[in-house]
C-alpha cells in the first residue's frame, strides 16, 4: 500500500509559471525524497529533505517539510516544457533511529508544461 498521497494528481501549466505539488504521509519518517519520471524511463532523484529540516533548495526546486502535519511540497519555479514528467514523493521510514532501505512512494503528480 502507498503511504504517500499526492495532490494534485495532474497539473497543467504554461511555461514560465510555477508548479506546486503536495505530498502527505502517515508514519514517522527519517526523511522524504522527491523523484521525477519521464514517460517510459526510470525514476531520477531530485532532492532529499531530512526530518529535522524544514526547507531545502536545489536550482529551481524548493522542497518544504512539515513533520507536524506529515506533509511536504515541491515547488518548481519558472517551469519549462522539459519539466513535463511525473513527480513522486517517497519516504524512508524511521526504524529505531536508523534510516531503513526501502522507499514508500506516493501515487505521483503528472505535470504538463505547455510551451
Residues in contact with another protein by the rule CB under 8 A: 2, 29-31, 33, 35, 40-45, 48, 50, 88, 90, 92, 98-108
Nearer residue to another protein within complex by CB, 79 or 91: 91
Query: In sequence order, what DSSP letters do the residues of 40-74 get, joined into one string?
Result: TS-EEEEEEEETT-SEEEETTEEEEEETTTTEEEE
Does residue 8 sit in helix, strand or coil?
coil
Task: State in angstroms the smallest separation of the CB of 10 from another protein.
Answer: 14
Rounded least distance, CB 59 to another protein, Å:
15
Q: With respect to another protein, which residue has the nearer C-beta, 41 or 114?
A: 41
Look at residue 81 and give its three-state secondary structure.
helix
Amino acid at each position: 500500500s502507498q503511504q504517500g498521497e499526492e495532490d494534485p494528481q495532474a497539473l497543467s501549466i504554461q511555461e514560465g509559471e510555477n508548479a506546486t505539488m503536495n505530498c502527505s504521509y502517515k508514519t514517522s519518517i527519517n526523511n522524504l525524497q522527491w523523484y521525477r519520471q519521464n514517460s517510459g524511463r526510470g525514476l531520477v532523484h531530485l532532492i532529499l529533505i531530512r526530518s529535522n529540516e524544514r526547507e531545502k533548495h536545489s536550482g529551481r526546486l524548493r522542497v518544504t517539510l512539515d513533520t507536524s502535519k506529515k506533509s511536504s511540497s515541491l515547488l518548481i519555479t519558472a517551469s519549462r516544457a522539459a519539466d513535463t514528467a511525473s513527480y513522486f514523493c517517497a519516504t524512508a521510514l524511521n526504524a529505531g533511529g536508523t534510516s531503513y532501505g526501502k522507499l514508500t512512494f506516493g501515487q505521483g503528480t503528472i505535470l504538463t508544461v505547455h510551451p
